[in-house]
Structure 1
Amino acid sequence: MPFTSLGLSETLIKALINQKFTIPTPIQIAAIPAILDKKDVLGIAKTGSGKTASYVLPLLMNLQQKLKIKNRHADVLVLVPTRELAEQVKDVFQVFSQALPERIKTLAVYGGVSINPQMMALQGVNVLVATPGRLLELINSNAVDISGIETLVLDEADKLLNLGFQEELNRIISLLPLKRQNILLSATLNDDLRNIEQILLHDPVVIKIEQEEASLDLINQIAYIISKEGKGPFLRYLIEHHEMKQVLVFASSVSTADAIVNKLRKNNFNAKAIHSKKSQGARTDALIQFKSGSVRILVATDLMARGIDISDLPFVINYELPRSPKDYIHRIGRTGRAGSAGEAISLVSQDELHHFEVIQKKMGKQVNIIDAENIR
């Protein structure tokens, strides 16, 4: 099914062609017409499935029609769990809105940076993308009024709830008008999500795009048994041996991520860390440099992975295993995207072996496990 059959305007179709979008994904096919009809939507689909464009495109079209009537306040509020995702969503809105005849202003607001410039930039905003904490700060400062919001989007709703934003979400929802369109998008469906779904959604269009095994089949998974002490040297060996020009390394804590980067730099590897303790400027710069290829190795924590969306990323390395099998699938899903093959390597110590067996069982795939001592 082509984009032309989904009810989008000719202008947006041209913008899609310019951005090399050719065939809509399943979530886009189902969500775009429903959102155009201003229905509530619950979309469950894995990261990388095109969820952002599935709501950005129809919301921009609806806004175009509305802007001819009035333009006094933000009409769309998008809540996200991280600063990186806020910037990513804002960029998608801006890319597609540039081609539209009526000007649409999108602003991303989040903590970790000065609030004053964000306050000044709120004038004339049509789409506000926000993390919950900073939005409440702006509301408490009387810098923004959300009582006129007509569409609420919760993007990565599972992470919003997992990261403890429930109380803040409740406060924000209480300030919104009762009559509005609600769009709830998530990679997973759990009990917390069902609870907020019951509060938010009214007769929603429910879209569940099942995890496709084919996407995992594009990823060559290998695990190496290695002692905790040997992980650092072996990581450097892998990067050199495979001549990795761009590799994303996952650590389970901020301190480990920084320690990995320090060791890599001491051994003349170009590496940077991205995690919650870094300033927003440092995080943005590291991501830009990694995407452009000027930084060879990016070391990230699980939370930051939500803002890392790179086409043709060849390598992902799990320096440590995540606690959740779902996070493991999310990590390795940074590679093997958009039809491109990728390689996911896990460094597994003896005390992680049982947990890795659980991950494989949940994933439904067996991973080739090699004793690292036999290959160097």
Structure 2
Amino acid sequence: MSFESLGLSHHIIHSVKQLGYLKPFPIQEQTIPVILSGKDLMGIAQTGSGKTACFVMPILEKLQQQEVKRDRNIQVLVLVPTRELAIQIDEVFRAFTGHLKREIKTMAVYGGVSINPQMKGMLGVEVLTATPGRLLDLIHNKALSISQIQHLVIDEADKMFQLGFEDELKQIFALLPKKKQTTLFSATLNDKISEIKNILAIQPVVVEIAKDALDIDKIDQVAYHVTAETKGPFLRYLIKENKMNQVLVFVSSTRTADKLVEKLLKNKIRAISIHGEKSQGSRRDHLDYFKKGDVQVLVATDLIGRGIHIDALPVVINFELPRSPLDYVHRIGRTGRAHDAGSAITLLTDEDMHHFGVIQKKMGKTVEIKPTTDINLHGY
């Protein structure tokens, strides 16, 4: 099945191709037509299964057909449990807006930072991705209204309750219009998710996708124990000592990606970054440079990294761990493709050890963790 067959216009397909996606993930095949049809949806799928694009593409598809509104009435509200997820989802929206019929303003808001810039930037926002507490703060300050939203998305709904957002959600639900399209995504189906359905008075189409499995047996995995101070020098040591000519490095944020490239270039390692804040043309060019061998290292975030398909990519390095075990599996799955062996290297600080233990347990494989204290990193 192709993206074209799902009912998406060439405006969206253009971005799909530039991002490097070859075909829809199973959950995208089943959910995109449902959302385009206007029906409520509940998707049960693991993090990293491609679910963000499930709602981003059809929502933008529908929104681009409407007249632009330059006020403080949000058209699409995406509720998420964490700041990191809010930023990531907003990056996905931005990545798909480059070739739409008209400009669509998106924004992510979350706590832990000053509310004033968020209040000032709210005018004209049509798609808002928000954590519940900060959303309520903005509403109380009259920075925006959610009384006219057309589409409500709740992502990682199960985590909303794990993190104690039940009261905030009920306050938000009370402010929403009765008529709207609702999309819920959760890793599990439980009583709390059913409670959300009842509060919102919806009977959604339910799509459940079993955990997908990548063949990771042919990938040689190894991890190295480093400190926060030695992580950068050790990465440069690995690349230089092993004469790596094509290595994909994963990081967790766009800021880290750009800073890491800056350090690599200073140390005479040809590197380039690719992430959601770069233009469509820039992402395409950078990926081409990497594929052709013009640069040794491509530093990527998970958003763009999932769309990178390179035959016989020899090495993937996790400079930072991803949020979920499935994201880790998909990262290392960029190597070891087309029946070729591949190598996956992970750099771990003390703070990463517990999370990496969870990743190994979920993956069903034990990865050797090697010390680095005896390695001379002087000059790296």
Q: CA deviation at 1:310?
A: 6.6
Partner residue, 2:51: 51
- Report deviation, 1:178: 2.5
Q: Which residue of 2 aligns with 1:336?
A: 333
**2:70 and 2:123 in contact (8 A); partners too:** no
> Deviation at 1:239?
8.4
Contact 1:6/1:33, CA 8 A, preserved across alignment:
yes
Change (3 A) 1:40 1:84: same
User: In the alignment, does 2:36 pair up with 1:36?
Assistant: yes
1:283-340 Cα offsets, whole Å, 9 max, x none, are x9xxxxxx999xx9x9xxxxxx998967669556699x99xxx954554544324986
User: What's the offset of the Cα at 1:40?
Assistant: 1.3
1:85 alignment counterpart: 85
Once the 2 structures are TM-superposed, how far is the Cα of residue 32 of structure 1 from its aligned partner?
0.9
Q: What whole-Å deviation, never above 9, does each CA across 1:14-41 have from its counterpart, x for those lacking one?
A: 3323333331221211111000011111
SS of aligned partner of 1:170: helix
1:177 Cα deviation from its structure 2 partner: 1.7
The question of whether the paired residues in 2 share the 8 Å contact of 1:132 and 1:168 is answered with yes
Is 1:159 matched with 2:155? no
Q: Which residue of 1 aligns with 2:103?
A: 103
- Equivalent residue number for residue 23 of structure 1: 23
Kindly indicate whether the alpha-carbon contact (under 8 Å) linking 2:302 and 2:331 is maintained by their aligned counterparts in 1: no
**Residues 46 and 211 of structure 2 are in contact (CA less than 8 Å); yes or no, is this contact kept in structure 1?**
yes
CA distance in 2, matches of 1:346, 1:203: 45
What stretches of structure 1 of length at least 5 have no aligned partner? 251-267, 269-283, 285-290, 299-304
Contact 2:360-2:367 at 8 Å conserved across structures: no
Contact preservation (8 Å) 1:216, 1:333: no
Please give the per-residue CA displacement for 1:39-69, whole angstroms capped at 9, x wherever unaligned.
111222333332222111111122133337x
1:96-245 equivalences under 5 Å are 96-186=96-186, 188-189=187-188, 191=190, 194-198=193-197, 199-200=199-200, 202-214=202-214, 216-217=216-217, 219-222=219-222
Say whether the 8 Å CA contact 1:84–1:306 is kept in structure 2.
no
1:359–1:137 Cα change, 3 Å: closer
Aligned amino acid, residue 140 of structure 1: H
Quick one: structure 1 residues 108 and 38, their matched pair in 2 at CA, closer, same or farther if it must change by over 3 Å?
same
Judged with a 3 Å threshold, the aligned counterparts in structure 2 of structure 1 residues 151 and 359 are, in CA distance, closer, same or farther, namely closer
**Partner residue of 2:283?**
none
Letter in 1 for 2:193: R
Contact 1:316/1:332 (CA < 8 Å) preserved in 2?
Answer: no
* Structure with higher helix content: 1
Superposition deviation, residue 150 in structure 1 = 1.8
Cα distance change on mapping 1:342 and 1:50 into 2, 3 Å: farther
Q: 1:332 to 1:201 in 2, by over 3 A?
A: farther
Using the alignment, how far apart are the partners of 1:113 and 1:347 within structure 2? 28
Q: Deviations over 1:96-148 (max 9, x none)?
A: 23322233221222223322222122222211111212111101111111111
State the distance in 1 between where 2:127 and 2:141 align: 19
What CA deviation, in whole Å up to 9, does each residue of 1:234-274 have, x standing for no partner? Answer: 99998887678776699xxxxxxxxxxxxxxxxx9xxxxxx
State the AA in 1 paired with 2:166: Q
Is the CA contact 1:81–1:132 (under 8 Å) kept in the aligned structure 2? yes
Per-residue CA distance 1:176-203 (angstroms, 9 max, x = gap):
12222111123x2153653445344722
Cα distance in 2, alignment partners of residues 310 and 164 from structure 1: 31
Q: SS of the residue aligned with 2:129?
A: strand
Gaps of 5+ in 2: 253-266, 268-276, 278-285, 291-296, 376-380
CA distance in structure 1 between the aligned counterparts of 2:61 and 2:243, rounded to whole angstroms: 45
Distance in 2, matches of 1:64 and 1:371, equals 51
CA RMSD of aligned residues (A): 4.8
Pair 145,201 (structure 1): closer, same or farther in 2 beyond 3 Å? same
What is the one-letter code of the residue matched to 2:332? T
Question: Which residue identity is paired with 2:101?
Answer: P
* TM-score, length basis structure 2: 0.65
Q: CA 1:87 to 1:372, structure 2 compared with 1: closer, same or farther past 3 Å?
A: closer
Counterpart in 2 of 1:255? Answer: none
- Shift in CA distance, 328/37, structure 1 to aligned 2, threshold 3 Å: closer
Distance 1:217 1:126, change over 3 A: farther
Q: Distance in 1 between matches of 2:218 and 2:63?
A: 38
